[in-house]
A and B are shown apart, each in its own frame.
Chain A
Amino acid sequence: MLILAKISRKSVKNLDRNTIVVGLALAVIFVVIGNFVFSYALETLDVKAEELEVTGENILNAPFPEYTIPGFENEWGGILLGVVATLAIFVVTLGIANLLMKKKSE
């Protein structure tokens, strides 16, 4: 904990950069595992709905249904889409958080 007292603003920036690199690398690993190993999904909700013959058709036609690129429905397409979406979510979140900080300083 004593180390924290010595952390300068510059080193915090370096720590942030490291956190972002490690965190996003881990996210990419999750996307790869999600596509190659843990891709099969059958949730409790789906099982119960099937028993009742309830059809859960979504109203909106999502551009990338089931996390796939239409016409490119394999693991590699899923990984590409997953990585792009992960980065997009990172950027959107930073944008919203920065907007909140801006409002705070006003």
Chain B
Amino acid sequence: MHIPDGFISPTISIVTFIVTLLFWIISFMKAKNSLDERQIPIMGVMTALFFAAQMMNYPIVGGTTGHLLGSASLGIILGPYAGCISMTIILVLQSLLFGDGGITTLGANIVNMGIIGVFIPAFLLLALNKISKGKGLYAWIFISAFVGDVVAAVAAGAELGFSVPTFQYGLSVAVPAMAINHSVIGVIEGVVTMVLVGMLLKLRPDVLSKSPSLKDLPALQESKELKE
């Protein structure tokens, strides 16, 4: 989903950089207050882990390949603000060191994978958990991660579709092409996020109890009260 230079129009490039800048400011300000000391090692590990995971390209549909984003896991486990910072670190280094994603399209790539892919799963899961009062957690995690991935792909398709002189296919081709292929990745993203959260619930509930999307879960509430 990394858009290289020359694929999107200058207008889309400028707009996405402005959106990115706004979210960076908000994320740094919010993460400064919400980030807990216990989350720091897991933030480092997860950022490194998903950078490495993005190096694996597996076959999806029509001879194309795709890779895990990790945005949903970062957003759900670390919270959207720290998750946005983590994904930004990955995307900036990928662009500057490896040429994976352009420099003029860095704003667009961060909007798709670092903002949409992170914030949508985090807030969707928060809402679904509130409605269901913590029941059906794993189904909600899967749905949140899947939706986050597909919406991020739709956004990438829309950015390309609105860049018509540069990318002549337009919205009607770019959006479905991205959405269909990334729905396969979305399924994998959903499963990986479920497994990761499940593992951390068993092994590191102290870290998960700091996640804005999960901290209200009855199981984590109990453990928090016991600790206090």
B-contacting residues of A (Cβ < 8 Å)? 1-2, 4-5, 7, 12, 15-16, 19-20, 23-24, 26-28, 30-31, 33-35, 37-49, 52, 54-67, 82, 85-94, 96-98, 100-101, 103-104
Main secondary structure on chain A at its contact with chain B?
helix
In the bound assembly, the distance between CA atoms of A97 and B84 in angstroms comes to 12
Q: Are B45 and A90 in contact (CB under 8 A)?
A: yes
Give the residue name and chain of the A residue nearest to B220 (CB). A1
Q: Are B41 and A82 in contact (CB under 8 A)?
A: no
Q: Are B1 and A30 in contact (CB under 8 A)?
A: no
Query: With A19-B45, A27-B48, A90-B45 given, is the CB distance from A97 to B40 under 8 Å?
Result: yes
Stretch at the interface among B91-99, B134-142, B143-151: B91-99
How many chain B residues touch the partner (CB < 8 A)? 74
**Residues in A neighbouring B174, C-beta threshold 8 A:** 48
Q: Are B89 and A27 in contact (CB under 8 A)?
A: no
In the bound assembly, the distance between CA atoms of A31 and B49 in angstroms comes to 9
What would 21 A/B residue contacts be, using CB atoms closer than 8 Å? A1-B223, A19-B45, A30-B49, A31-B55, A34-B52, A34-B56, A42-B64, A45-B178, A48-B167, A49-B7, A52-B169, A54-B167, A56-B5, A58-B99, A59-B102, A59-B104, A62-B99, A86-B52, A90-B44, A97-B40, A100-B31
Q: Are B97 and A45 in contact (CB under 8 A)?
A: no
